[in-house]
Chains A and B, each alone.
Chain A
Amino acid sequence: MNERPSSGSRLDPWVDSYAQRAKNVSGSAIRALFSVASRPEVVSLAGGMPYVQALSMDHMADVAARVVREQGARALQYGSGQGDIHLREQILDITAEVGVRAHPDDIIVTTGSQMALDLVTRTFCDPGDVVLVESPSYVGALGVFRSYECDIVHVAMDDDGLVPNALRETIESIRAQGKRIKLLYTIPSFQNPAGVTQPAERRREILEIAQSAGIAVLEDDPYGLLGFEGDPPRALRADDDQGVIYLGSFSKTIASGLRVGWAIAPHGVREKLVLAAEAATLCPSNYSQLTVSEYLATQPWREQIKSFREVYRERRDALLDSLQAMMPEGTRWTIPAGGFYSWVTLPDGLDATAMLPRAVAELVAYVPGTGFYVDGQGVSNMRLSYCYPEPDRIREGVRRLSSVVESELEIARTFGTASVPSPGSPTAPGESSTPGPDVA
């Protein structure tokens, strides 16, 4: 051998300089597959993109033009770190629909509710603090909690969402280990990814448990107004203004591209969130806020939400009918009463992550279940989104998917891997097995 150089190149001169939390995040072969899912040939039941085409683009153009023409100097300028006061007043009209009453000063406007998630976590959590999450839970929240090095603990769910007894037992067990629980993160209505909704009685019980344990509840409610039957479910925050931090968003009720969300928090928390928000972004986009504000002031937003509900209900029905008609025996799924998602359990313990390349080759995509857990659960699950593809495409997607599942069952039977979880998840810790937000 020649005299060996002491070190080679790792193609990144800063590789030893990154914070531990940045090292926790990386791509994966599974995530790369979603690049194919963005092609029009592929029926993507993967991403949770709202169907913004249901908006009148002419009206949106008028709204945007009016904002620039009539309030341009303000729209294009820095604004308040807490958000535009008039918009905060209007937000209260929206939250009244889920029973939440507050003062405009209790609200902080954020760049999507994802930013509010980040602000709350950075305000509450030190590395190692426990955050309780549903089982499964929203991947974007898991990413935030992971980036602040929280100890994420899943709490069991059933068809009615978070299970109160499981919550009690988990709290006791964690406290017995001497750990500190900072937040209970929950999506009570039309949960992402499971599609389930907590009934009113269960909400009361969950609130009581959190109150008696002294744990702040982080209520994420992006889908609350998108129920298919009856009135919107009453938010947890409606019955506890001190113990619940409520997150809302215009991403699903107007347009995700505007990136406007909000948090409603008790006074002390809100002060901290505003300071944290100013440190992060100075202020939310004035242009986006004024566009939303103008839209709410001049457009029939309640009618538009009703129209979104109709679109999504038709698609939900297309998905559920197709699953019922085509999926192999042994496949199970949740029946969402609103929102964007159904949670599917594959027969005989098939591995949804291992199956994804075959699905993408057959031009259908979904999100494997493991991405919604931090502990390797979800191997035989997948999240199906019905929000974006039109009903005919959904039916075609399920047709392709059912054929993929049949093939996978045959392979699993051939190799005797059915009902036997693979040794370790194919996704390494920290690797992302979920698509970015822009994948349809």
Chain B
Amino acid sequence: MLSRTADNLYWLSRYVERAEYLARILDATQRLSALPLAYVGTSNEWESAVATAGCAHAFFKLYDEANEANVTDFLAFSTANSSSIRSCFELARGNARAVRTALTMEMWDAINGTWLELQRYGNGPTSREEFSRFLRWVQESSLRFDGSAYRTMLRNDAYWFSRLGVYVERADNTARILDVKYHLLLPENERVGGPLDYFQWAAILRSVSALTAYHWVYRESLKPWLVADLLILRDEMPRSLSSCYEAIVRNLNSIAGAYGRQGTTQRQARGIRTRLQNSRMDGIFQRGLHEFIGEFIVENNRLGASITEQFLT
């Protein structure tokens, strides 16, 4: 297939996935900031949200301080932020339009419908209730698009590239949450605990749709190192780094099989996957959680660059 088509499909999925992730962060932040001050302490949740979204640099070029109004606007509706929910949907729809014939009718309807609906939100909702509805709508739109792709696409390279986009983006998103909140997840002997941390951990899990999953997997109350274990090493957790890389390797293998050729990307992805499989939580903590995640983000970006170089240009 044309490199441009594959590139559009790959980024289309990435943008939709990113929009959903931003909605999840905003949702979790809204919950945290609604707690009484005694539970939350003095930390600025909105600043943390900007950092988790990975756009603190761009944000503080425009604003001196982070508060609910400007962070909500910046992450959800701003056209100045090329990674806002609005920008993500605009870019996704632009990509979809450019490769209209490579999409199934259902995928096109999903993304085009989302884009049309987005126009109705104008410069943003006026109340918190409406904003909550907006965030739910963003997540539903992403689910609808993802479901359409999963259910209707032919299982060929177009599908595999679109899946790669989902998982590379998802791995990056999960790693970013961990990167910003890593200090909350340090082992037992560090002084953590108390209501503030509890709600923060819950917020982390909620932002990756894993709160219920946590209870099913561990059957005990929230423990920070178990949160880290769930989001990094657990294959059965669909947003964990490990699970993302299982999917990335699988899709790259499908591409290699169809093209009859392995390349740098396949080797690179297998390398990351193997490292995750061979890691254990205590080892990660010994070397430093922050360092581990930092390295992962770099590796994941490098894989993204290799995919672009090997297939998309």
A and B together in one complex: no
Interface residues of B (CB under 8 A from A): none
